[in-house]
Amino acid sequence: MTLPRGDPRRAALNDEVHARPYQTLQAPLRASYLALLAQPGEREREYAHVAELCARHGCQPPLPDASYFVAECGAFRLRWERHGEFSSYTVFTAGEGGEPFAQPAANALPPEWVAALPGSLIVAAHVALLPAAQAELEIETIAPHFAGNTLAGAQLADGSALAFTDFRIHQDGYSRFLLLDRGMGGRRAGRVLQRLLEIETYRMFALLALPLARELGPKLAAAERELAGITELMVTQGPADEPGLLDRLTRLAAAVESALAASSYRFGAARAYYGLVKQRIAELREQRIPGIQTIDEFMQRRLAPAMNTCESVARRQAELSERVARASDLLRTRVDIVREMQNQELLASMNRRARLQLRLQETVEGLSVAAITYYLVGLVGHVAEAFKAAGYALEPAIVMGAAIPLVALLAAVGIRYVRRSAAKESRRG
């Protein structure tokens, strides 16, 4: 059967759920894990660095656009993964005999290669996967592997494994996980080990938001005090002070929005990472070992308060932004009302001036009619005197008196016509 034309993204979307398969692992085994915060400009260096290690050990290098790569390099296996904001490197070696962490898998890598890895190191962990007898384990035999620190651990995967850690960075710069196999099988061992490393990774990346939350706390408190002071002044001060208050409030809003934009990604990422930590812990299906706190209990006591702090700061920031916006809207409304009242007073003043100008114009028009009439009647009188001198029986004074009403009427009509024509022209313009 011929299928319809396929979407070019279909294969990539289907393969996404298979992009990072778990390793098949058999005890005894040792693993070392590094997770580095990667900058966008360092992606090319990461590929070149991994390819250089493969060339040194005769392995096939990864594809240039690969986000997941596994290579068997003789004495060790290398797993390289690219994630959204970090890259991880895991090396696996056989772990026969001796202390679990005395000869870690990282020793199989060239020290100069490890030191030159691109990015900044966030997580470094050693894992020892060892077979365990079915006999009851004594905690006193486990604690020395962790320098006597308080342990967290549990039975995992329906009791087929035991996991122990202290979530501390030891003198070599690595944290430690001891995983005891009670018959997990290779694929389940790979899943359990990967989940333990993901818990450690996501825990640390979630905590990246904590220093930012601590830094923002005092700034938020200062901004809240500033907002409280401005709102109090909005009640007590008059309209003349409102433009100054609006300027202060605008500056505060800009500072709050700038901090919100700079921190929203980090707080959102912390929320997502914390969700992944809880999900991975649930997938372990922990069962309590007497006398040891479980990994879930450790996270509830140690990680959850830090995440609550970050969430509280993020919520305070969002609420402060909303409060500043509401105060700004209120103050702008008050300023606009004051301006509208001032505009109304200005318009009323302009109307009074227009009425006065109209009265003055009417007065001037009356005087203009009188002046025009006076000069025109004078001209009529001169014409009548000329006719009288020519022998006509005319009395100039009588002619001038008779002409006054007619001339005055014509002058008034003419002035009104000129005024109306000027008004029409102004309306057209």
- Please state, in angstroms and rounded to a whole number, the distance separating the CA atoms of residues 352 and 271: 65
Looking at residue 146, the DSSP 8-state letter turns out to be G
Q: Which residues pair with 176 in a beta bridge?
A: 126
Both 253 and 300 in one domain: the answer is yes
Between strands 120-131 and 175-181, the pairing is parallel
CA torsion sign, 217 to 218 to 219 to 220? positive
Look at residue 4 and tell me if it is in a domain: no
Look at residue 349 and tell me if it is in a domain: no
- Please state, in angstroms and rounded to a whole number, the distance separating the CA atoms of residues 140 and 297: 21
- Please state, in angstroms and rounded to a whole number, the distance separating the CA atoms of residues 52 and 43: 14
Look at residue 229 and tell me if it is in a domain: yes
Look at residue 373 and tell me if it is in a domain: yes
Both 284 and 373 in one domain: the answer is no
With CA atoms as reference, report the closest residue to 216 among 270, 163, 165: 270
What pLDDT is attached to residue 411?
79
Q: Rounded to the nearest 10 degrees, how much is the dihedral formed by the CA atoms of 271, 201, 290, 179?
A: 150
- Please state, in angstroms and rounded to a whole number, the distance separating the CA atoms of residues 163 and 289: 10
Both 295 and 404 in one domain: the answer is no
Both 229 and 271 in one domain: the answer is yes
Q: Where are the beta strands (DSSP E) in 83-168?
A: 86-94, 120-131, 152-156, 161-165
Both 58 and 172 in one domain: the answer is yes
- Long-range CB contacts for residues 15-23, cutoff 8 Å, separation at least 24: 19/67, 19/68, 20/68, 20/81, 22/187, 22/190, 22/191, 22/194, 23/70, 23/77, 23/79, 23/92, 23/190, 23/193, 23/194
pTM: 0.77
Q: What contacts 233, CB < 8 A, 6 or more positions away? A: 241, 245
Both 69 and 125 in one domain: the answer is yes
Q: 73 and 59 in contact (C-beta within 8 Å)?
A: yes
Q: 298 and 196 in contact (C-beta within 8 Å)?
A: no
- Please state, in angstroms and rounded to a whole number, the distance separating the CA atoms of residues 87 and 68: 10
Q: Rounded to the nearest 10 degrees, how much is the dihedral formed by the CA atoms of 39, 44, 46, 50?
A: 170
Both 219 and 132 in one domain: the answer is no
**What is the three-class DSSP state of 63?**
coil
Among 196, 219, 245, the domain boundary falls at 196
Look at residue 13 and tell me if it is in a domain: no
Q: How many domains is the chain built from?
A: 3
Both 76 and 177 in one domain: the answer is yes
**What is the three-class DSSP state of 296?**
helix
Q: 292 and 155 in contact (C-beta within 8 Å)?
A: no
Both 51 and 174 in one domain: the answer is yes
Q: Rounded to the nearest 10 degrees, how much is the dihedral formed by the CA atoms of 190, 192, 194, 197?
A: -140
Among 287, 320, 344, the domain boundary falls at 344
One pLDDT digit (tens) per residue for the chain, 429 residues: 688 988 888 887 787 777 778 888 988 999 999 999 988 788 889 999 999 999 999 888 998 888 889 999 988 999 999 998 999 999 999 987 678 898 999 999 999 999 999 999 999 999 999 987 644 567 788 889 999 899 999 999 888 999 999 999 999 999 999 999 998 889 999 999 999 999 999 999 999 999 999 999 999 999 999 999 988 888 887 777 777 888 888 899 999 999 999 999 999 999 999 999 999 999 999 999 988 999 999 999 999 999 999 999 999 999 999 999 888 888 877 777 777 777 888 888 888 887 887 777 767 766 777 788 878 878 888 888 888 788 777 787 887 888 888 888 887 788 777 777 776 776 665
Both 167 and 287 in one domain: the answer is no
Among 344, 379, 410, the domain boundary falls at 344
Both 379 and 242 in one domain: the answer is no
- Looking up tokens 């022209």 gives 425
Give the structural domain span for 338: 209-344
- Please state, in angstroms and rounded to a whole number, the distance separating the CA atoms of residues 383 and 380: 5
Look at residue 129 and tell me if it is in a domain: yes
What pLDDT is attached to residue 135?
43
Q: What contacts 266, CB < 8 A, 6 or more positions away? A: 208, 209, 212
Both 377 and 324 in one domain: the answer is no
With CA atoms as reference, report the closest residue to 204 among 85, 313, 89, 378: 85
Look at residue 409 and tell me if it is in a domain: yes
Strand 120-131: give its sheet, edge to edge: 68-73, 76-82, 86-94, 29-37, 120-131, 175-181, 161-165, 152-156
What pLDDT is attached to residue 134?
45
- Give the chain's radius of gyration (CA, Å): 45
Look at residue 10 and tell me if it is in a domain: no
What pLDDT is attached to residue 283?
94
